[in-house]
Structure 1
Amino acid sequence: MHTLTCKNIVRKMGDDFSLGPINLEIHAGTITAVIGNNGAGKTTFFQAMSGDYPGEGETKVHGHNVHSIAGKAALSYVPQTFPEVLPFRLQKLRDLHANHDDTWRDDRFQAYARQFDLPLRKRISKLSVGMQRKAVLALQLSRDTSLLLLDEPFAGLDMEGQTQLEKILISKMEDDPDGSIVFATHIADEVQRLADYIVIMKNGKTQEPMEKDILAQQFKRIWLAKSVTGVEEAPGIREVEGVPPQILTSDAEATEKWLAERDVQIMKRERLSLHESLPLLLRDEETNEV
């Protein structure tokens, strides 16, 4: 079952940038990290998924168009910036949700307000950047929805706030096994701690979702007993350095098969951390786009 389906999403941003076309399906019960360098199009993509940015294509949440009442009621969205809420006091925004939002859970909001130590009667514009983000997170997390779209949700949070949010997101998934979370980030630690799937975004396009655990198995550093002619052309090879060589591969099984066919002895192998493998993916020139 899919919580979120994006079909032929396209957004034009003047003459310099365009998003898509993007086709993407997010499975229920999963957390997906959208990874990309600055300018890759993550924020525009999240705006498109949430229905905030008009354009071509269709986004559905549990089968409902994102622009429909049912679609809007099924998702919560925390953008990277939120100037529209800054003039308001948090208490006023809470009152608006409580009176007009059928998905609102006031018990949940009060718990988040206490946990984040949020001042309810102070204008959000007067809060620090981190507290502003906590305020918006508290509002959106208090809506009883099956899909969370979070654009750089940890940005600006202190260490305690990051830990609190991480626990909240994990708890939400435990309480709602049919729900999904999609978050944008460029921080490997966030991906390691939370994500089930990774979507790489480059130049306004997304690649196929990859299971984080499978990715960890594919990327390895291998130490060889001797130099091998043509090893740079072996399948999966990303880097070769040193004598005897160390190699980095994104397809360990294919690389090791190639080496075995040439009777090359492997002295040592180890998996790459996401800190090492994600930059390799982001600078990859292949066009495995959807």
Structure 2
Amino acid sequence: MLELDELVRDFGSNRAVDQVSFRVSGNRLTGFVGGNGAGKTTTMRMIMGVLAANGGEIRWHGVPVSAADRRDFGYMPEERGLYPKQTVLSQLVYLARLRGQSTADARQHTLALLERLGLADKSAARLESLSLGNQQRVQIAAALLGSPKLLILDEPFSGLDPHAVDTMAELLREYADAGVPVLFSSHQLDLVERLCDDLVIMTAGRVVAKGTADELRHRDRPRYHLITGSPAGWARTVPGVTDVEELPDGARIELAAEAEPGPLLAEALRHGPVHAFTPLVPSIADIYREMTAA
């Protein structure tokens, strides 16, 4: 498990990361979301030791993370950092050897990754000759070399076509299922909703929400869509109801956090037939917009 405890990073008088705390657990995909300048990339760089923290602590398996630990972490930076004039296979084999693999093992592992990522026919090509999407796939392959024990991926899905996104999602799930903690940032909230077990939302350098996707969806007052065939303004008189948006065929109704929906449904049935009574569960995009609103 990776743990961040009250992490701080200043750039002069600007506090880019302000007492950030969260954990990334094995067997789980953790989505890291926030607007531009929220502090996500700075936080990831501190995890990897690219930037020093000005306060707080980063722990790996309960003890402060070390340089030796970080050698076993797979990292994909937001900016591509590979050699544009070198061939795909040669530079990935070189990077795998830097991670301790023999030349034979590095070549075998690299070829398997390229095959999985749909790049087997590009292994002899120079990186600069590839499309931006394929360059992104090579950068992903570089992060997955050497059997990483933790994956830190900054915008790994950027520039990928839908088929490549599906392949990458499958790969990340396989690593998580094998016990590798995975933290990745993305602006594609629909993808985060589909993939993530846990979510961390940052804005202005601070964590404003964290937890499982289900916990975040149900953290606020429950809301229901009631369809009765006519406006349901009478719902305002039901104990526990905090807000009613009347509709031509019913209402959208908000309850207090501790209120049960049973009395509302019973009162609806007393007023006539009920055609539908459905919980309104916010999407991750809805939660993100609410938590990051100025």
Q: Does 2:114 correspond to 1:113?
A: yes
TM-score by length of structure 2 reads: 0.78
In the alignment, which residue of structure 2 is the partner of 1:277? 286
Normalization by structure 1: what TM-score?
0.78
Whole-Å separation in 1 of the counterparts to 2:129 and 2:237: 61
Please say if residues 146 and 180 of structure 1, whose CA atoms lie closer than 8 Å, have aligned partners that are also in contact: yes
The residue matched to 1:254 in structure 2 has which SS? Answer: coil
Aligned counterparts of 2:72 and 2:241: Cα–Cα separation in 1? 47
111-120 or 72-81: bigger deviation: 111-120
> Are 1:61 and 1:75, in contact at CA under 8 Å, matched by a contact in 2?
no
Deviation sequence 1:28-67 (CA, Å, 0-9, x none)? 2211111212322222221122221223233233346444
Give the CA deviation at 1:149: 0.8
- Residues 205 and 16 of structure 1: CA distance in aligned 2, closer, same or farther (over 3 Å): same
Question: C-alpha deviations, 1:116-148, integer Å up to 9, x for none?
Answer: 225233332332211111001112112212211
Given candidates 165, 170, 178, the residue that maps to 1:167 is 170
| CA shift digits 1:85-116 (9 cap, x unpaired) | 44543233223234331268633321121232
Residues of 1 paired with 2:2 and 2:284: CA distance?
Answer: 28
> Where do 5+ consecutive residues of structure 1 fail to align?
286-290
Aligned-pair Cα RMSD in Å: 3.3
Percent of counterpart pairs with the same letter?
Answer: 23
Please say if 1:148 is aligned against 2:147. no
Structure-to-structure mapping, 1:12-27, within 5 angstroms: 12-27=10-25
SS at 1:53 equivalent: coil
Deviation of the 1:168 alpha carbon: 1.0
Contact kept? 1:112, 1:138, Cα under 8 Å: yes
Q: Which residue of structure 2 lines up, in the alignment, with residue 288 of structure 1?
A: none
- Aligned-partner Cα distance in 2 for 1:103–1:278: 43
Aligned to 1:59: 58
Q: Does 1:246 align with 2:249?
A: no
Code of the residue aligned with 1:125 in structure 2: it is: E
User: 2:181 aligns to what?
Assistant: 180
Change (3 A) 1:142 1:276: closer
The Cα shift of 1:216 comes to 3.8
CA distance in 2 between counterparts of 1:204 and 1:85 reads 32
The alignment covers a number of residue pairs equal to: 273
Distance 1:198 1:253 in 2: 25
- Where does 1:1-290 land on structure 2 (aligned, <5 Å)? 3-56=1-54, 57-63=56-62, 65-69=64-68, 71-83=69-81, 85-102=83-100, 106=106, 107-115=108-116, 116-118=118-120, 119-174=122-177, 176-177=178-179, 179-218=180-219, 221-223=223-225, 225-226=232-233, 241-243=245-247, 245-247=251-253, 254=257, 256-257=259-260, 260=263, 265=268, 268-274=277-283, 277-283=286-292
Amino acid at match of 2:203: K
In structure 2, relative to structure 1, the CA distance for the partners of 1:281 and 1:147 (3 Å cut) is: farther
Q: Give the distance between the partners of 1:58 and 1:68, measured in 2 at CA.
A: 14
User: 1:151, 1:184 within 8 Å by CA — same for their partners in 2?
Assistant: yes
